[in-house]
Amino acid sequence: LYTTWNDVDAGAIFRVNLQGAAKPVKLTTEKGIYRMPSFSPDGKWIVFRKEGSSDVLGNAFTAQPGIYTMLANGGEQTFVTSRGDFPRFNKSSDRIYYQMGGGTNRNFASSDLKGLDERVHLKSTYGSQFTVSPDEAWIAFIDLHKAYVAAFPKTGKTIDIGSGTGDFPVKLVSKDAGFNLHWSNDSRQLHYTLGSQYFSINLEDRFSFIANKPDSLFKIPEQGIDVALEITTDKPKGIIAFTNARIITMKGNEVIENGTLVVEGNLIRAIGKSGEITAPAGATIIDCNGKTILPGFIDAHAHGNHFRSGIIPQKHWAYYTNLAFGVTTMHDPSANSELVFGQSEMIKAGLMTGPRVFSTGTVLYGADGNFKAVINSIDDARSALRRTKAFGAFSVKSYNQPRREQRQMIIQAARELNMEVVPEGGSTFYHNLSMILDGHTTIEHNIPVAPLFNDMIQLWKNAQTAYTPTLIVNYAGLSGEYYWYQHTNVWENERLLRFTPRGVIDPRSRHRTMAPEEEYENGYMLTSRSAKKLMDEGVKINMGAHGQIQGIGAHWEIWMMQQGGMSNLQALQTATINPAISLGLDKSIGSLEIGKLADLIVMDKNPLENIRNTESVHYTMVNGRLFDAATMNEIGNYKRSRSKFFWESNKNADSFPWHDGTETEAETCSCGQH
């Protein structure tokens, strides 16, 4: 039993017989966003969840999101309740279990098949993904990332459950983390995953009273079975030669006038003056007379709508918007780990179109929350980083860890695991200062003090910590985002609206804050001037647009760097070679050199003459694939037109999320932006 998704046809539920070569059978006739289907134990029914619309998937084709049932052979869908997710039948198939609530207030409940007679069995501060065994004797759950198993108490009252429960047996069964909990049919084994590892736990080994042997003999497994799924990385074929262009290579101050750049596959094979470089026979020639080529932009702090969970679209509009504006690499320092790394791998495999996506995954959150990372020892720090690295992260975000020694433990664990730490100080100057002293890779978001004086500048210079000020969301002063809403009609930007739902753009740009110019002068512009001072002393300053507005936000950040006194070339460096060096990616991207990956932008105008010319992106190439930036159709050696986004296929009001609610679960911190 499984669900499918198509951006045009929406979702469906299918059933397939695992015996023999049977073809899948479609069970649903209505379009919808279907999730979490499962059979009843007697095999007669299916329970599933229908989600509401969102600005990622579009119209949900239902006015009543919630839990539904349906005959196992398909047919009419029967609404049960609007509450809860992870629905499962009980063993007698006459009730449905589900999880309710969110954050630090989750419940595990059940109702009859009509959604009546609701009973709350369990409540938990940090617990989630409650999964009852088929015999209903056991309950598995996740508590602060780790997997636990408990006897399922049936007292007729609501029981508080968590990792510290002592009233009935609760046992830890994962070392660093466990996800996707599920049981064997005989209820004797619990299975879970972490990254590419698949783990199985025999209950008789964990609970002494089952097999009459001491559970002290049980050792939590460090390694599971490697799923060993390998997919070929996407790599285009053929040669493309860009001729007669101005090339800003980002090798120091190098600018090649009337140059040629040759791409073979996904690598740069030649670059130099046109008279010295000959396009190979059979190459596709792109005449760039009057145009400027520079490396693709790297957004070092790019929240790309990765907080959500659930269905992955075929086309993630945030990726298209970024590519259309020349952003070829995104580093997201806070995201839902399962979703962001899943989509990143789909891009690598050529199954999705998008920039290169890197991420810290879930932040190492120090304040309270059901996803916080409790760091009270170096082993806690090592465990938290191993958990993140298992998904594919090379960086972690230390965020709101309140004590300095906690942050130092994370730094030490990162050194041992060869990872980077990109922290945020929460707009606290001394918090940031200790991060610089302790050797963090970067500082994310601006220091909330301006101007910076020489003692601070020299300290920062010698610490070699990079800086991503995100002027677009400036601390201790008015944010740069509002400047551009005030001074430009963002809602009229045709390219932006071509790749972004109007329901996202209009509320932010039409109802705009109007402020005196000195508020901006004393806000983000002061921060930008401090960034200029730091850059002149050798500190790597990075462009990071924070996902405030996809695509165009990266350009605003570059322009705001220039407003603070940086030269146009320096401002461009913050979006290319600087973040590449800061993130350890400069051997592959960040500059245009032979042997590096073919990520580049072709602009109609010269950004060295006017920094606002960065918006004149004509072509974007990522990993050797060339796109017409105005349409995001693939061109060059491949001719592929993009399909429609949901708002292009369905222009009624239901396309926008405020009309029937967004039901996808989001993982975020208290400020709602991380």
What is the Cα–Cα distance from 611 to 603, expressed in whole angstroms? Answer: 12
What's the confidence (pLDDT) of residue 664?
37
What is the Cα–Cα distance from 507 to 503, expressed in whole angstroms? Answer: 7
Residues 6+ apart with CB under 8 A from 424: 333, 397, 398, 399, 400, 443, 444, 445, 674
Identify which of 234, 282, 284 has the alpha carbon closest to the alpha carbon of residue 261.
284
On whether the CB atoms of residues 211 and 204 are closer than 8 A, the answer is yes
Tell me the C-alpha to C-alpha distance, in Å, between residue 495 and each of 239, 389, 502.
Answer: 28, 36, 12
Instruction: Please give the span between the terminal C-alpha atoms of the chain, in angstroms, as a whole number.
Output: 34
What's the confidence (pLDDT) of residue 216?
72
Domain map of the chain by residue range? 30-226, 232-295+590-642
Identify which of 200, 279, 206, 274 has the alpha carbon closest to the alpha carbon of residue 239.
279
pLDDT in tens, 114-129: 999 999 999 999 999 9
Q: Is the peptide bond before 236 cis (omega within 30 degrees of 0)?
A: no
On whether the CB atoms of residues 207 and 171 are closer than 8 A, the answer is yes
What is the Cα–Cα distance from 551 to 221, expressed in whole angstroms? Answer: 44
Q: Do domains 30-226 and 232-295+590-642 have the same CATH topology?
A: no
What's the confidence (pLDDT) of residue 381?
97
Residue 147 tokens, joined: 């997997």
- What is the DSSP secondary structure assignment for residue 561, as one 8-state letter? H
What's the confidence (pLDDT) of residue 671?
44
What's the confidence (pLDDT) of residue 618?
98
Name the pairing type of β-strands 85-89 and 95-102.
antiparallel
Amino acid at 603: M
Q: Is the dihedral of CA 63, 67, 73, 77 positive or negative?
A: negative
What's the confidence (pLDDT) of residue 546?
97
Domain topology for 30-226: Neuraminidase (2.120.10)
Q: How many residues does the chain have?
A: 674
3-state secondary structure of 30: coil
3-state secondary structure of 101: strand
What's the confidence (pLDDT) of residue 663?
36
> Domain 232-295+590-642: what homologous superfamily?
Urease, subunit C, domain 1 (2.30.40.10)
On whether the CB atoms of residues 606 and 249 are closer than 8 A, the answer is no
What is the separation of C-alpha 173 from the centre of its chain, rounded to a whole number of angstroms? 28
Identify which of 195, 495, 510, 476 has the alpha carbon closest to the alpha carbon of residue 361.
195
Q: Which residues in the chain show pLDDT less than 70?
A: 211, 651-674
What's the confidence (pLDDT) of residue 218?
86
pLDDT in tens, 201-237: 999 999 987 767 777 778 999 999 999 899 999 999 9
Rounded to two decimals, the pTM is: 0.94
3-state secondary structure of 323: helix
User: Residue 642 burial (CB < 10 Å; 0-12/13-18/19+)?
Assistant: middle
On whether the CB atoms of residues 549 and 490 are closer than 8 A, the answer is yes
Per-residue 3-state assignment (H helix, E strand, C coil) for 199-255? EEEEHHHHCHHHHCCCHHHCCCCCCCEECCCCCCCCCCCCEEEEEEEEEECCCCCCE
pLDDT in tens, 276-329: 999 999 999 999 999 999 999 999 999 999 998 999 999 999 999 999 999 999
User: Residue 569 burial (CB < 10 Å; 0-12/13-18/19+)?
Assistant: middle
Identify which of 64, 72, 19 has the alpha carbon closest to the alpha carbon of residue 42.
72
Identify which of 414, 193, 391 has the alpha carbon closest to the alpha carbon of residue 306.
391
What's the confidence (pLDDT) of residue 672?
43
Identify which of 145, 168, 170 has the alpha carbon closest to the alpha carbon of residue 157.
168
Per-residue DSSP letters for 386-436?
HHHHHHT-SEE-EES--SHHHHHHHHHHHHHHT-EE--B-TT-HHHHHHHH
| Residue 97, phi then psi, degrees to nearest 5 | -85, 150
Angle at which helices 552-563 and 480-487 cross, to 10°:
100
Tell me the C-alpha to C-alpha distance, in Å, between residue 449 and each of 138, 251, 476.
Answer: 54, 32, 7
Q: Is the dihedral of CA 268, 274, 276, 277 positive or negative?
A: positive
